[in-house]
Structure 1
């Protein structure tokens, strides 16, 4: 009840007349999986960017920054992305998720996924307040944030958070930008793997979080983009995920560029990286240009 009141008060403060930034705590009270009380800086949050009424179209996107599960590239792969989507009429929710740390989590590998699932629950449960269509809620993730986004899109059948109202935790579409996909040593970004799973994870845990192995016919449609010369995250992460989507007859679009290295979208004009994404989700029925 306390959380619903907070949401309602926030909506009144934000209004619906301008792109607005507000920060919400992700959990109303107890933070699941945590073993210690988190500091204010460590607490997971959602930063909201709501589009102006004239542009709003009911579509929403959860924005997940990267950072190898060791830090968050919150400005360049979070705030900047949220603002860009809001300008296009899409409500954006930038996730500050818990970094996987043994000292704060019972099982550090599940902390980020818990927060991503909670974010989807918060967005959908407040769709009326934010004038959203709960059937047009997607996710975009960058680098290790792309791993978390693809985990959200392939592990939605199991609730890792309390969900008594059985709200769908499945994103309607995924946008994966130079993503880490696999935890396989030959493919993964080792820093992300070690930070998430530890130095010596079991084969079962490696397979579970190798998302190319978790694709089914129920996996959401996906847009992927990557550069062939990426020297941080191997481009084959995107390729194997695309192949898995194709094998399961899931709609997917893969944009590969020969050069640009890691983080290439940060160095391009917004229109160059955003328009293909919008075209894809429009074709999939989740977005209308205004």
Structure 2
């Protein structure tokens, strides 16, 4: 009996410190994809880095901050993947767990992506990465859906902020690569009342961003990219930064010398590894988490 109790206790204390709830963004089929009947799938082409594809049902994965650390600040996190896959671990769940450690509640957004024709989404995507105009054409209908999923995510979090013990005026949105495109599309397309209070686009693809309505209230932005980005996305971040400054909004840009594309939450031994520390310090200076 003692052995059984000890095993139970070991299992109990081995459980992750972060709980997760899955929240549907629409009561039925998501508008625009009512005919989609395929099933979400998962692949792991890299160790400890799962990718999702054929995502047809947009949801939020809620990672609440531990009660003893909770600050009331929350961030919606949009993983990247060229609108064909979602880098759910490196640019989603691990980011959420790190935000939890800072006292920030996180909502990982699984937005709709292009249907893969095979079970090897990377093999399909790689040739398209060399022809961004063709990729943009294929992605266009889904970018619109993903933007709408992001706006629905903002509506849900702000409308339910008090229920979750969150500050409705401290809701951020951050995204990586295609997730950065979603982040900026939400910011520039949503009604004023549903716009995020602060944003952090990480190595975003700006060409596909939808909308042009700058926020009326002061909205700080934290922009991150690597100068050696192999997809040539560095100018996209610089251009966005300059636009934000010109509009009179607080803006900060970190263009690291090394890091390539897709560093996310995976250390690479380059200067880009510091982005999380920089972001944490920025959050503190903006009063979003304690000093």
Q: TM-score range by the shorter chain?
A: 0.7 to 0.9
How far has the Cα of 1:285 moved from its partner?
3.2
How far has the Cα of 1:109 moved from its partner?
3.7
Is 2:205 the partner of 1:180? yes
Corresponding residue for 2:105? 91
Is 2:145 the partner of 1:111? yes
State the alpha-carbon separation in 2 of the partners of residues 265 and 97 from structure 1.
18
How far has the Cα of 1:210 moved from its partner?
6.0
Deviations 1:171-200 (A, max 9, x none): 0000111111124xxxxxxxxxxxxxxxxx
Corresponding residue for 1:82? 96
Corresponding residue for 1:71? 85
- State how 1:150-169 maps to structure 2 within 5 Å: 150-157=184-191, 168-169=193-194
How far has the Cα of 1:61 moved from its partner?
0.2
SS at match of 2:85: coil
SS at match of 1:146: helix
**Structure 2 vs 1, CA of residues 106 and 217 (structure 1 numbering), >3 Å: closer, same or farther?**
closer
Corresponding residue for 1:247? 246
Corresponding residue for 2:49? none
Any stretches of 5+ residues in structure 1 without a counterpart?
1-17, 159-167, 184-208
State the alpha-carbon separation in 2 of the partners of residues 51 and 95 from structure 1.
17
- Structure number with bigger Rg: 2
State the alpha-carbon separation in 2 of the partners of residues 54 and 129 from structure 1.
17
- State how 1:203-282 maps to structure 2 within 5 Å: 209=209, 215=214, 218=217, 220-268=219-267, 272-282=274-284
How far has the Cα of 1:284 moved from its partner?
2.7
SS at match of 1:20: coil
State the alpha-carbon separation in 1 of the partners of residues 24 and 106 from structure 2.
16
Deviations 1:59-103 (A, max 9, x none): 0000000001111111110111111101111000000001156xx
SS at match of 2:194: coil
Query: Which residue of the other structure, out of 124, 127, 131, is the alignment partner of 2:158?
Result: 124
Is 2:286 the partner of 1:287? no
State the alpha-carbon separation in 1 of the partners of residues 188 and 140 from structure 2.
22
Cα contact 1:100–1:109 (8 A) shared by 2: no
State the alpha-carbon separation in 1 of the partners of residues 143 and 233 from structure 2.
22
**Structure 2 vs 1, CA of residues 108 and 261 (structure 1 numbering), >3 Å: closer, same or farther?**
closer
Corresponding residue for 1:47? 61
**Structure 2 vs 1, CA of residues 260 and 251 (structure 1 numbering), >3 Å: closer, same or farther?**
same
How far has the Cα of 1:217 moved from its partner?
5.1
Corresponding residue for 2:27? 28
